[in-house]
Chain A
């Protein structure tokens, strides 16, 4: 494990749990991490590329991590998305930082 990595738990859309290492020094976000590990089929996640404009990277945050506050565009997108819960976030808006060590998220269903 690289010293710049954090360990994150991701439950995919089939309910399978993956514990993965994510780099904190590559300006990556959670959606990109999911794609890089191919935990969701290409074309079903990160459709808009990470502009908070499609909600295909919606996930439910299961751990109690303090995440960066939601910006207007993310809140607006989630207000139009489906399967939204109180702990919904857009993966593309969560940047991988050392604070996320131990984060646990579940991918929302495809819609």
Chain B
């Protein structure tokens, strides 16, 4: 059981900044995110795109913003449970909560902050009738253990970076790699596209374009897929694995069943005070909450995170006195023993 002061669900910009603000109040945080890396949308969807409305940054790439936020909160030693989705929440008799992920990892804390943005990112599944029958029986939407493909025949579908990168990677692991895409052009880093071209020319990747997978066949597991090339008759291709990589789409998911008031796919909060939900001790901050006048902006998420931490402090330290401090005056004392502070002014006599 992982114990902490604040469980933060969602490791996007809002969740990461909450770690810093909590740290100033000597509260420890642990973040849970369905994605394998921190940063949320900024890292997953548009890491190379610039953002222009982060205060004091005339322009910053979304991926760089994640890096900066990670650096800023580093000394408060946040814990991370990545690649797992928060599944259930159970209130304990002592008022604390236990959040359990889809993989069974348990987290306990007196305060939960949901910073889940638009939801947890789930793979987009191709529209094939029987695809769910083959999930984990040859159909995988994400590659978690590349070794399981060693010596196997693999068909990858998709035209973006993940389809390209995994085709390149598996070319050295699998026995055969076939990449199927609906058109001849790929959308990805130029060097990945070049590398696939190179591997195709060397006969290490079998490229079929423009084409689509139109059926999955097999008895209890994937044995072949039907490939349909544009304007040609479909044919069967023997394979052990079919890996469709068509990107991820955010879904509110299990949080919808936590007894929270939901409106317009977002969690209703009290914006007059502290962004608390209808369940005391559970807060919602960032793009995933809703209140009158809500704007889904990163900078608004930062503000909400800050106010949430103040409320969390009062829950965790009832009755304890506290006064807002300025980092310029007080410095920043990390949980790792580091201290940042403003240099002392030089006092010197003028003769």
A46 and B118 CA atoms in complex are apart in Å by 11
Interface residues of A in 64-111 (CB under 8 A from B): 72-73, 75-77, 79-80, 82-83, 111
A72 and B193 CA atoms in complex are apart in Å by 15
Interface size on A, residues (CB 8 A): 21
A43 contact from B46, B49, B124, B252, Cβ within 8 A: B252
Q: Given A43-B118, A54-B247, A80-B158, is A111 in contact with B124 using a C-beta cutoff of 8 Å? A: yes
A-B CB proximity, top 7 nearest: A43-B265, A76-B187, A42-B264, A79-B182, A79-B183, A42-B265, A82-B127
Q: Given A76-B185, A111-B249, is A51 in contact with B49 using a C-beta cutoff of 8 Å? A: yes
**In contact, A53 and B181 (Cβ under 8 angstroms):** no
A4 within 8 Å of B (CB atoms): no
- B263's nearest neighbour on chain A, judged by CB, is A42
A101 and B126 CA atoms in complex are apart in Å by 35
Question: What DSSP secondary structure best describes chain A's contact surface?
Answer: loop
Instruction: Given A41-B264, A111-B249, output 17 extra A-B contacts at Cβ < 8 Å.
Output: A41-B265, A42-B264, A42-B266, A43-B118, A43-B252, A43-B266, A44-B265, A47-B118, A47-B250, A48-B41, A54-B249, A76-B159, A76-B185, A77-B187, A79-B183, A80-B247, A82-B126
B334 within 8 Å of A (CB atoms): no
Interface residues of B in 148-186 (CB under 8 A from A): 158-160, 181-183, 185-186
B80 within 8 Å of A (CB atoms): no
B45 within 8 Å of A (CB atoms): yes
- Which of A53, A77, A79 is most buried by chain B, counting CB atoms within 10 A of its CB? A79
B119 within 8 Å of A (CB atoms): yes
Contact with A along B225-241 (1 / 0, CB 8 A): 00000000000000000
Q: Given A48-B46, A51-B46, A53-B46, is A80 in contact with B246 using a C-beta cutoff of 8 Å? A: yes
Q: How far is the CB of A93 from chain B (nearest CB, A)?
A: 15
A58 within 8 Å of B (CB atoms): no
List the interface of chain B (C-beta within 8 A of A). Answer: 41, 45-46, 49, 118-119, 124, 126-127, 158-160, 181-183, 185-187, 246-247, 249-250, 252, 264-266
**In contact, A79 and B181 (Cβ under 8 angstroms):** yes
A72 and B158 CA atoms in complex are apart in Å by 16
A24 within 8 Å of B (CB atoms): no
List the interface of chain A (C-beta within 8 A of B). Answer: 38, 41-44, 47-48, 51, 53-54, 56, 72-73, 75-77, 79-80, 82-83, 111
A80 and B185 CA atoms in complex are apart in Å by 11
- A110's nearest neighbour on chain B, judged by CB, is B249
- B265's nearest neighbour on chain A, judged by CB, is A43
Q: Given A54-B247, A73-B187, is A82 in contact with B159 using a C-beta cutoff of 8 Å? A: no
A73 and B181 CA atoms in complex are apart in Å by 15
- A54's nearest neighbour on chain B, judged by CB, is B249
Q: Given A42-B264, A48-B46, is A80 in contact with B249 using a C-beta cutoff of 8 Å? A: no
B182 contact from A53, A56, A80, Cβ within 8 A: A80
**In contact, B264 and A43 (Cβ under 8 angstroms):** yes
Report B-chain residues with C-beta under 8 Å of the C-beta of A75.
Answer: 183, 185
Report A-chain residues with C-beta under 8 Å of the C-beta of B124.
Answer: 82, 111
Q: How far is the CB of A95 from chain B (nearest CB, A)?
A: 19
Report A-chain residues with C-beta under 8 Å of the C-beta of B126.
Answer: 82
A42 and B252 CA atoms in complex are apart in Å by 11
Report B-chain residues with C-beta under 8 Å of the C-beta of A54.
Answer: 45, 247, 249
Report A-chain residues with C-beta under 8 Å of the C-beta of B187.
Answer: 72-73, 76-77, 80
A47 contact from B160, B181, B249, Cβ within 8 A: B249
**In contact, A48 and B119 (Cβ under 8 angstroms):** no
**In contact, A83 and B127 (Cβ under 8 angstroms):** yes
**In contact, A53 and B265 (Cβ under 8 angstroms):** no
